[in-house]
Amino acid sequence: MDAYDPTPADRFSFGLWTVGNPGRDPFGEAVRPVLKPTELVKKLAECGAWGVNLHDNDLVPFGASAKERDTLVAEFKATLEDCGMVVPMATTNLFSHPIFKDGAFTANNPRVRAFALKKTLASIELGVELGAKIYVFWGGREGVECDACRDPRTAIARMRDALDFLCEYVKDRRYDLVFALEAKPNEPRSDIYMPTTGHMLHLISTLAHPEMVGVNPEVAHENMAGLSFVHAVAQAMEAKKLFHIDLNAQKIGRYDQDLRFGSEDLKQAFLLVRLLEGTAGGEPYRGPLHFDSHAYRTEDFDGVWEFARGSMRTYKLLKARAAEFDADPEVRQLVAEKRDPKLEPLLRGFSRDKAKQLAALELDASAVAREGLRYERLDQLLTEHLLGVR
């Protein structure tokens, strides 16, 4: 036991599909047996996790009878209770069954779109019954290979219709539930609609009930788009739309690896934890910290629990490093905001007078251009804190 052991106060969660991943990939069969959901819950509790998330079919097999569903749910709830675990988030599997081969909410066949809504309504009921407060939508099949098959604007409108319908269902049932939209640029489809968190933030602004819809950014997915995950998360936080987050790691330019958090770009992981924890002074993120990732295919179950423990431990190690970095007097001095009480009032809130003052501004551009920003020193300090020598 040490200061980096996870506690429920850390709000760490894992999906059943993460630690339950049997190691199958497009080129090879499963390498691990599939554990029952109740066994996964018990092991996650032993590792120190706070919550467990699920797709409907992670717990209730597709086509199960109502009686089978109720038995599985009762058993799962009893195990959650015994282990003191919660279900912070639930979601629908709208990507495995072949019916969704052309998408779910955006599919060209209205019968598919109706079935997707039906399945999601039932899955929302399951999530609410398990106590979930956040409902994630990852549109893994909402995309194309043959782009001539539909006008992309039609796909956007269909997505909006489905989300508006489901928001109104939740409001009608008076559920304490918000939606979080998860973007991914490709895989399994050649191009997935609304491919980044930025696209999702815009889509939310066009919905009938934008106040109950936020985003669930994932490290690997923004990296697959070649974008800064830290900036995507920061924009979501600034818009008060970071309702959930999927933590993992990813090597640039590869398929969705869903690697253990911090196992690739440690500097970006550090900057992400610094942002989420608000150690530099900004408003922190207080939602669940979900690891949407899985162990290497090389691993047995010892390796799977090593993966789970490592995910949480790395987050807490980086949280401590970020606090030390932002408490470092030299760092604070380098990042301190430059003030100019005379000029700052001119920078926001237009007035004719301010425009006149700006037009009359006397400023030696070359002298300002010659000023050094000392970011080399700042970045070296980050490296030294990260390597534990400061």
**Least distance from C-beta 134 to ligand DIG, angstroms?**
10
List the 178-182 sheet strands across, edge first: 213-215, 178-182, 134-138, 89-91, 51-55, 12-15, 289-291, 246-247
Residue from the set 138, 229, 243, 285 that interacts with ligand DIG by CB under 6 A: 138
Residue 35 in tokens: 């554990």
Cβ-contact 257, 302 below 8 angstroms: no
| DSSP single-letter state for residue 249 | B
The residue from 56, 102, 142, 256 that contacts Mn ion (CB under 5 A) is 256
Active-site residue identified among 10, 55, 221, 294: 55
Nearest 5°: CA angle at 273, between 16 and 336?
A: 165
Type of residue found at 232:
A
| Three-class SS state of 112 | helix
Name 138's bridge partners: 182
Pick one of 102, 246, 264, 277: the residue that binds ligand DIG (CB under 6 A). 246
Q: Is there a contact between 16 and 53 (Cβ–Cβ < 8 Å)?
A: yes
Binding range to Mn ion, per CB under 5 A, among 64-72, 192-200, 245-253, 348-356: 245-253
What is 346-369 written as a DSSP string? GGSS--HHHHHHHHT----HHHHH
Q: Is the dihedral of CA 32, 37, 43, 47 positive or negative?
A: positive
Token look-up 């997935």 returns 192
Q: Does 142 bind ligand DIG (CB under 6 A)?
A: no
Q: What are 173's two structure tokens?
A: 């049932």
Phi then psi for residue 311, to 5 deg, are: -60, -50
Does an H or E element contain 274, and which? helix 266-277
**Binding partner at 136 among ligand DIG, Mn ion, none, C-beta below 5 to 8 Å by kind:** ligand DIG
The only residue of 56, 142, 218, 264 in contact with ligand DIG, by rule CB under 6 A: 218
Query: Which of 136/295 has CB closer to ligand DIG?
Result: 136
- Nearer to Mn ion by C-beta: 72 or 288? 288
Smallest separation (angstroms) from Mn ion to the CB of 174: 28
Site for ligand DIG contains 264 (CB under 6 A): no
Is 202 annotated as catalytic? no
Tell me, rounded to whole angstroms, the distance of Cα 243 from its chain centroid.
8
Q: Tell me: does residue 222 bind Mn ion (CB under 5 A).
A: no
The one catalytic residue among 10, 56, 58, 292? 58
Task: Give 316's contacts (C-beta < 8 A, 6+ positions apart).
Answer: 3, 4, 5, 6, 10
Residues numbered 95-134 forming contacts with Mn ion, rule: CB under 5 A: none
From the list 66-74, 82-90, 285-293, 327-335, the region that binds Mn ion by CB under 5 A is 285-293
Question: How many residues sit in the footprint of ligand DIG (CB under 6 A)?
Answer: 9
**Using rule CB under 5 A, residue 58 touches Mn ion:** no
Counting contacts by CB under 6 A, is residue 105 touching ligand DIG?
no
Q: Is 14 in the site for ligand DIG (CB under 6 A)?
A: no
Please give the size of the binding site for Mn ion, defined by CB under 5 A.
6
Nearest one of 237, 250, 216, 311 to 280, comparing CA atoms? 237
Contact by Cβ (8 Å): 152, 100: no
Q: Is position 58 annotated as part of the catalytic site?
A: yes
- Restricting to residues 293-322, name those near ligand DIG by CB under 6 A: none
33 vs 135: CA distance, rounded Å: 28
Q: Which of 292, 311, 317, 386 binds ligand DIG (CB under 6 A)?
A: 292
The torsion angle over the Cα atoms of residues 138, 142, 143 and 148, rounded to 10 degrees, is -160
Which position among 80, 136, 170, 249 is part of the footprint of ligand DIG (CB under 6 A)?
136
- Report the nearest approach of ligand DIG to the CB of residue 182 (Å): 5
* Segment near Mn ion (CB under 5 A); pick from 100-108, 291-299, 316-324, 375-383: 291-299
Judged by CB under 6 A, does residue 58 bind ligand DIG? no
Closer CB to ligand DIG, 10 or 182, in the complex = 182
10 near ligand DIG, judged by CB under 6 A: no
Helix (DSSP H) and strand (DSSP E) numbers for the chain: 15, 10
The residue number with the shortest CB distance to ligand DIG is 138
Interface residues with Mn ion (CB under 5 A) are 218, 220, 246, 256, 258, 292
Interface residues with ligand DIG (CB under 6 A) are 15, 17, 91, 136, 138, 182, 218, 246, 292
Q: Could you give the residue numbers annotated as active site?
A: 55, 58
